[in-house]
Amino acid sequence: MPTLKRPGDPLAPVKLAQFLLKPKHKISSLDDSIRILKVAADTKDLKLGKIIHAQLIISNQTSTDTDITRTNSLISLYVKCDQVSIARQLFDRMRKRNVVSWSALMAGYLHNDHALEVLGLFKSMVVVDNICPNEYILTTVLSSCSDSGRVEEGKQCHGFVLKSGMVFHQYVKNALVHMYSRCLEIEGAMHVLNMIPGYDIVSYNSVVNGLLENGHLKEAIEVLSMMVDDHVTWDSITYVTIFGLCARLKNLRLGLEVHGRMLKTEVECNAYVSSAIIDMYGKCGRIINAMKMFGCFQTRNVVSWTTVMDAYFQNGYFEEALNLFSKMRLEGVMPNEYTFAILLNSSACLSALRHGDLLHASAEKSGLKNHIIVGNALINMYTKSGNIEAANKVFTNMIKRNCITWNAMISGYSHHGLGKEALNVFQDMLAVGECPDHVTFVGVLSACAHLGLVQQGFYYLNHLMKQIGIEPGVEHYTCIVKLLSRAGQLDEAENYMRSVPVKWDVVAWRTLLNASHVHRKYSLGRRIAEIVVAMDPNDVGTYILLSNMYAKERRWDGVVKMRKLMRDRNIKKEPGVSWVEIRNTTHVFISEDSLHPESSQICKKVGELLAMIKPLGYVPDIAAVLHDVEDEQKEDYLSYHSEKLAIAYSLMKTPCEAPIRVIKNLRMCDDCHSAAKLIAKATNRMIIIRDANRFHHFKDGCCSCTDYW
DNA sequence: GTAGGGTTAG
């Protein structure tokens, strides 16, 4: 048969059908129709398959035996084209079925994530139709046991496989090894593997993957070295697995070695292998290698595109990740749910609300928005972009949720200082029977800290977590430090840190440092700052905080000392940068500079706003200004802080009912914080600022952080 | 005519 189907030609099936319908090529024999149906099934060409199906109905040849084989071919066609319900209808209408009919349908359910349906069919086949299962059936049934984690049924199959002698059949044996590996019965897997002389790479791959999937990296490496000892030749799947292992370990050296070894062999570098290599380089921080590999691979599909986007994302190149999307579309590659998840996360890291909105619409158009990972990424994007209401809307409308969905919403509310809402979501999570994990409790304990619920926080840590079986980590203990600190119990917080035997990290100490600053416990603060500086000598934030504390005590010697220390250690203060999205443009404001084209109008507006809020109680925090200048000038410096410029510009350019969303690179300063509260009140606007640590919702003269950040 | 191991997310 000549090659008729050119890739990408939508008329190809029609042309082929026309060709087949010409007299001399008319489907006359059984062989012809079955052969073409197989081609249609293998190429997933549903249109072609349906044409043949129609032909068969018209020609209506009814001998039962040929009917069975043809219907089996049709079942296989619909199954491979993901039309299991059509396949089931055909199956149900058959007057007589044979073992192939059953196995074709079972394979369909297996590959469409209905493993349990396969086990049900298996029972009916044996009990109702009294058919003896063959090696095809057992391979499929064992795979279904793997997918659904039904070890008991799998073991029963093992017994039957031993009795029938099918254990010597390679596919059956592999399915058995895979079943034990997936269900983490490694001894069972190794037993079957070693029982039969000679090795099989498929079984070895199953064992290694089973171990890796369950986090047993050490044992996986042991099996790999066993393979080296036994001179088992690695195939492309082994390489995919090992690159995955290197990626997880972030072990570049091993990755390079394996890549080098692969290049010396004849192993085919298909889309799976190339994606695994890109992923390995991306996760090991080698974005340049990842890009190079992506550029030179011929086999690019949606996964390799998505993997390279993820490599950019993982290494902090969010804009580059987003830019790849249009390039991918230009090559005619359709995104999948993973693509959207990564793009939305990139957009989240830029707080690019507008871009995120467009991606949301795009995901909806592609019919992918109902995937859990897309929903989760949407919640993450909206919370990080400052639109918590939109996040909640996505959350409420999700058809299916998992633990990560709940976590995203709980920690989202917590980051926005909405502790009550976070705890409500947590209660709902428990009510629907979703099991919390260690991430959930970080969000929950943070919420307790916001609300000052000391006892409740301790209850969650000491009882609920224990009850669920989650070992608290340093991140949870840090939440307790925050909890005590926020409640003003600073001495208790410090004692807690000194008495709990956990390896406290710099984050924990900085929590206590922040607390000392907020509660104006400056001598404690200076003591803690020493610890923080010792742990992280390059953290600018600590030096600034320490300077601030000295300044508030009017201890200018301390301020001078800090500035000298920063100079000596060559630590430069990152300039404050704020940005806002207005319609399609992002406007960037840098403290104390006048690069914006409308700079003078903006400064004028800031002046007006500050004059407007002075009668409401605004007092410029001139003590915080480090410059050696007169007090009036210090007031000027404060008014050029980037977030004030951004707020003023937004007020000039947006309609009066729209909320103002500002993103800032550093922690907000005290002065801007009190100014923002009063500007929100005076102008009757909602102002949402995302700083380096959290969200601040300013409304009616108050902030959601209750002045604690 | 039916069957086995693999890549991307939070």
Residue A377 contacts residue A341 (beta carbons within 8 Å) = yes
Least reliable range by pLDDT among A13-22, A216-225, A492-501, A515-524: A13-22
Q: Which of residues 408-437 of A touch strand B (CB under 7 A)?
A: 408
> For residue A593, is pLDDT > 90?
no
Chain B footprint positions (protein CB, under 7 Å): 1-10
pLDDT at position A572: 82
Which is more confident, A552 or A631?
Answer: A552
Residues making up chain A, counted from first to last: 709
The answer to whether A181 CB sits below 7 Å from nucleic acid chain B is: no
Residue with tokens 């749910």: A337
Query: CA A282 from chain center: how many Å?
Result: 15
Whether CB of A227 is under 7 Å from strand B: the answer is no
Q: Phi first, then psi: what are they for A184, rounded to 5°?
A: 60, 35
- Contact between the CB of A82 and strand B at under 7 Å: no
pLDDT at A16: 55
- DSSP labels, A158-173: HHHHHHHTGGGSHHHH
Lowest mean pLDDT among A586-600, A651-665, A689-703: A586-600
> How do residues A199-208 score in pLDDT, each as one tens digit?
789 999 999 9
- φ, ψ for residue A698, nearest 5 deg: -95, 125
Q: Which nucleotide across the nucleic acid strands is nearest to A172, CA versus C1'?
A: B4
Which of A302, A296, A362, A364 has its CA nearest to residue A332? Answer: A302
Is A71 within 7 A of strand B by CB distance? no
Cβ of A196 near strand B (distance < 7 A): no
Residue A62 has a CB neighbour count (10 Å cut-off) of: 7
Q: What is the pLDDT of residues A38-88, one digit of tens each?
A: 889 988 899 999 999 988 888 776 566 778 999 999 999 999 999 999 999
User: What is the distance in angstroms measured between the alpha-carbon CA of A103 and the sugar C1' of B1?
Assistant: 10
Residues A295-344: pLDDT tens digits?
988 878 999 999 999 999 999 999 999 999 999 999 999 999 999 999 99
A577 has which bridge partners?
Answer: A590
Strands A695-699 and A585-590: unpaired
Distance CA A373, CA A55 (A): 42
**Average pLDDT estimate for A395-411:** 96
Residue A428: C-alpha distances to residues A168, A406, A435, A438 (Å)? 52, 9, 11, 17
The pLDDT value given to residue A4: 32
Report residue A2: phi and psi, to 5°: -70, 155
The pLDDT of residue A620 is 86
Q: How far apart are CA A282 and CA A652, in angstroms?
A: 43
DSSP-derived letter for residue A43 is T
Question: Which H or E element spans position A687?
Answer: strand A687-690
d(Cα A364, Cα A357) in Å, to the nearest integer? 11
Question: What percent of chain A has a predicted confidence (pLDDT) above 70?
Answer: 93
Per-residue pLDDT band for A184 (boundaries 50, 70, 90) equals confident
Q: Is the pLDDT of residue A446 over 80?
A: yes
Report which residue is nearest nucleotide B4 when distances run from CA to C1': A171
Residue nearest to nucleotide B9 (CA to C1'): A338
Pick out the nucleotide with least CA–C1' distance to A336: B8
**Residue A629 scores a pLDDT above 80:** no
For A52, the token pair is 């043949």
pLDDT given at position A5: 35
Place of tokens 């396969």: A118
pLDDT of residue A663: 87
Contact A376, A406 (CB under 8 A): no
Q: Which of residues 91-150 of A touch strand B (CB under 7 A)?
A: 98-101, 103-104, 107, 110-111, 134-137, 139-140, 143, 146
Cα-to-chain-centroid distance, residue A234: 31
Q: Is the CB of A206 under 7 A from strand B?
A: yes
Q: How far apart are CA A532 and CA A116, in angstroms?
A: 55
